[in-house]
Amino acid sequence: MSEWKPRDTVMVVFMILVVGIMLLQMVQNDRLYDRVSQAIRLLEASGGRGPATGPSADPVRWRVPQAEPGGSVIIHESARPTNLNIITCKDHAGAVILSDSGLVYESLLERDPQTLEFKGLLAESWSVAEDRLSVTFRIRPEARYSDGVPVTAGDFVFTYRATMIPTMDCQRIQTYLLDCDGVDALDNHTVRFRWKKKYFKILEVAGSLPAVPRHVLDPDNLIDTDPAKLAERINAWDPPLKSPPPIASGPYLLEKWDKPGNRVILSRNERYWGPMPPLQQIIFRIITNDTTALQALKAGELDYMTLTSEQWTNLTVDPAFLERFNKFKYLRADGGYSFIGWNNRRPPFDDRRVRQAMSHCVPREQIVQKLLYNLRELANGPFSPLGRQANPDIGQWPFDPERARALLAEAGFRDTDGDGILDRDGRPFEFEMSIPAGVQIYTQIMSLFQDQLSRIGVRMRIEPYEWSVYVDKLDNRAFDACSLAWIGAVEEDPYQIWHSSSYENKGSNHIGYSNPEVDRLIVEAREEFDEERRNAIYHRIHAILFEDQPYTFMLTGPRLEAVSKRIQNAEPGKLGMDFRNWWVPVALRRPGG
Amino acid sequence: MRVYLIRRLLLVVPTLLGITLITFVIIRLAPGEPATLGGSAAGGEAGRQATAASAELLRAKKELLGLDKPLPVQFLVWLRRVAMLDFGHSWSNNQPVITVILDHISPTLQLNILAVVVIYAISIPLGVGQAVRRGRFFDRSTTLVTFLLYAAPVYWVGPLLLIYFCNPEHFAWFPAGELNRPFPENMAFFPWLYDRLVHLVLPVACQSYAGLAYLSKQTRAGLLENLQADYVRTARAKGVSNYRAIVHHALRNSLIPIVTIMAMILPGLIGGSIIIETIFSIQGMGYLSFNAILQRDYPVIMATTTLAAVLTLVGLLLQDILYAWLDPRVSYA
């Protein structure tokens, strides 16, 4: 190499600067382009027209008359949705953003947050047929998509037929519609869902199907000519990043998904057909780490989040925090419960007395006090304590190691060789407790349980498994005992978890519970449309399950949440918060939004 | 040299084949089914939604994904597509794998490149200082500090930084996680750049502190060796100033191994750290690969491992070439 001179250095630095500035300029151009194309998408989503203003437009009906319209809120979401495609979306996060709170996509019915009764959303009226095999909805004539096209019966027929295409990636919806016999458009605004057998949830299943605009997703009528191609197209649809635009009937439009920035931005649909909600923007911010999320909340970068028990008890109690945030602790009607599942088809848990003994050894009060800051409640069955399905006469299964000892002796377990471990037929009482790996609380709970069991002479090994391996073990019934939680529903249908037929085909009856009387009652309840009589059957099922202890029902929890005091009207109902009622006074808004 | 290069390049092909084959076999031997087959959401959350796909739906889905064919056939199908640079579609969201990777690579690149710059900018002067003051207080104290940092686990340091530096109760100097404030698209360019850099401070600090020890020790060792060499003594003897003797004569020669280490960093640049990304809520490559493994999203796993393998091989090759180029004593003739 020849001699390196100072002017060479100057030259190199100069060239780096030039290249750098060019790059920055390119980035800036990209950003401008993004903003323009985003504006275009939004315009497309609203049918190429702006807000309905001017003298000819109807006066806006407001959902919350006293609210000052405008402003935005930032809501914490702890998991990232895999996509925001209403048909193929598989996760809870996606459902919350798109449809669960009626923000973007709407269904025929929704539940009243206080009474939990159904009320019409897109439907004006509905009726279940005499033979209980079909339900007919009358769609509101004023219901319109954001591009101004009316919502029609044909859209529901399309949604049903599209989700039934075998190659469509939408098992979540398909599973619910397996017993559906067909959907007919009786006229433009009347749609009928037919079922193969009587099922009391027909209203709920049909009423929660989202209205999907056929004219946008299938303009060239592929559903009749080439369903496979339609499935391919819809599977690849990634709104709002790829066309077609996310046209929907709800009060908010999917404006932007900032993937690197972890934000989903919903903007108010200015042409919404129903009463207009106050907030201009609802931003979902995805933060997977609890600590980071709480820091963001405290720094004013979030308005609403769910707290962990520890955060509720230790990290959000100072006056500075309470001055800025309201804390809510409430039970949700679809709360769900956690449990220990005993493999009912594997000795020794095939013996009811052994399962009962196990339940007597779980120190649930101690767990709640020592590990969960007294912030959980004990569960005694599969039904939500808020609903009418739960049997009010059933108490809690008591913690009673002495009784457990007696039950195990009755079942033939004795310590014959004096090693401190009970045995039967020469084999010691030893089993494996499978838990999902990476969830610390499971290990802690099981350690307390393990300690109790060792005192009565039972040896339990705690074995954590990675989630997909864990699910595999459940599906193949390759476990002694497992620990898990079910996500609940307002009205449970126990068929899926407790009916003996759900043991086959990797169904949800992992533990192989089988009780002919429960089977009969479950089917009977499915066909019973009178709520009073149906709940009587559920009370009976609840009592039998309590006696059989196929699960040790563990805990059910209130939600722990913090909401910024900027937000008005943030009161939780039995189904959580309704963002459509929130508003932020002008004086308390963030600069720029 | 040319013969050597050609031989090395030819060796890349079987190595790559071997790596992809082993990866393919390992992920397929691992228990657990792809999340897209079950009704369940992926990992972590220990709740399960009460949905179960029927056997028939499952079978149709497996057929669609090609999972019904024997393993060797599946591998060959994959290989044929990759040879045409088609990595397929991600099973979790149906988008092309290339798009998915491009979505996640930019934050990781920004983070890692800045971290590398920070590591080099601190540890080379540090190593020089340590070598010059060998055995004295500065040498020992900084060595101790860098090794303490090396030993501090990032899952502990990260939350500490967050709790003390992003909290109005202590010091609210930096934002808590992510790469921008809300509405970055409404910011002008320079405020946006500033905002991005402020957001990157803590993650970059986390990413780089552990690397200081290794590189400063390398610099120190290399420089010490050269400081004792004859040519440095000669330079000093002919009256060159101490600064010139160190910086112009000894340091240049001792930087050769440091430069070649850079080539090894190449594969590390696209490999994200799942821990740092989780703590600071950044959706980079670490997040992508980790989730792909949890969900058994085979196309994404295969694409990210293949990419890492290619970059590792290229890095090794680059290292050899750099050696020969920088150090006239090395030749592959």
Q: What is d(CA B2, CA A580) in angstroms, rounded to the nearest whole number?
A: 69
Of the pLDDT bands very low, low, confident and very high (cuts 50, 70, 90), residue B52 is very low
Residue B257: which domain range?
97-326
Over residues A443-495, the pLDDT tens digits come to 999 999 999 999 999 999 999 998 888 888 888 899 999 998 888 888 888 98
β A281-286/A263-268 pair status: antiparallel
Q: Who among A292, A483, A502 is closest to B280 (CB)?
A: A292
User: Using the beta-carbon criterion (under 8 Å), do A468 and B294 form an inter-chain contact?
Assistant: yes
Report if residue B90 sits inside a domain.
Answer: no
Report if residue B244 sits inside a domain.
Answer: yes
B152: CATH: 1.10.3720.10
Over residues A401-454, the pLDDT tens digits come to 999 999 999 999 998 888 889 999 889 999 999 998 877 888 999 999 999 999
Q: Return the CATH fold of A241-332+558-588.
A: D-Maltodextrin-Binding Protein; domain 2 (3.40.190)
Report if residue B63 sits inside a domain.
Answer: yes
Chain A positions in Cβ-Cβ contact with residue B176 (cut-off 8 Å): 292, 295-296, 299, 301
- The residue among B26, B61, B83 that closes a domain is B83
B234 shares a domain with B107: yes
Contact between B282 and A258 under an 8 Å Cβ cutoff? The reply is: no
Report if residue B88 sits inside a domain.
Answer: no
A331: tokens are 């039970």
Chain A positions in Cβ-Cβ contact with residue B94 (cut-off 8 Å): 83, 88, 169, 235-236, 238
Q: Return the CATH fold of A337-556.
A: Dipeptide-binding Protein; domain 3 (3.10.105)
B78 shares a domain with B39: yes
B199 shares a domain with B153: yes
Report if residue B92 sits inside a domain.
Answer: no
B185 shares a domain with B131: yes
B184 touches A at CB < 8 Å: yes
Q: Which residues contact A55 (CB under 8 A, 6 or more apart)?
A: none
The pTM for the full model equals 0.81
Contact between A459 and A453 under an 8 Å Cβ cutoff? The reply is: yes
Residue limits of CATH 3.90.76.10 in chain A: 105-236
Residue limits of CATH 3.40.190.10 in chain A: 241-332+558-588
* Residue A54 vs residue A537, higher pLDDT: A537
B73 shares a domain with B156: no
Of the pLDDT bands very low, low, confident and very high (cuts 50, 70, 90), residue A10 is confident
Of the pLDDT bands very low, low, confident and very high (cuts 50, 70, 90), residue A592 is low
B169 shares a domain with B109: yes
Percent of chain B with pLDDT over 90: 16
Within 197-256 of B, beta carbons closer than 8 Å to A belong to: none
The reported pLDDT for the residue numbered A572 is 93
Q: How many domains does chain B have?
A: 2
B255 shares a domain with B188: yes
Report if residue B89 sits inside a domain.
Answer: no
Residue limits of CATH 3.10.105.10 in chain A: 337-556
CA distance A485 to chain B (A): 5
Contact between B259 and B321 under an 8 Å Cβ cutoff? The reply is: no
B253 shares a domain with B215: yes
Percent of chain A with pLDDT over 90: 58
Chain B positions in Cβ-Cβ contact with residue A262 (cut-off 8 Å): 178, 281, 283
Q: What is d(CA A177, CA A165) in angstroms, rounded to the nearest whole number?
A: 12
Identity (one letter) of the amino acid at A575? Answer: L
Report if residue B52 sits inside a domain.
Answer: yes
- The residue among B28, B58, B83 that closes a domain is B83
B78 shares a domain with B114: no
Contact between B313 and B14 under an 8 Å Cβ cutoff? The reply is: no
Mean pLDDT within B63-84: 84
Report if residue B216 sits inside a domain.
Answer: yes
B293 shares a domain with B183: yes
B126 shares a domain with B38: no
Rounded to 10 degrees, the C-alpha dihedral B202/B203/B206/B208 comes to -110
Q: Residue A565: is its pLDDT beyond 90?
A: yes
B75 shares a domain with B205: no
Q: Does domain A105-236 have CATH number 3.40.50.300?
A: no
A471 touches B at CB < 8 Å: yes
Q: What is d(CA A497, CA B52) in angstroms, rounded to the nearest whole number?
A: 10
In total, the C-beta contacts within 8 angstroms joining chain A to chain B are: 194
Helix or strand (DSSP H, E) at B132: helix B97-132
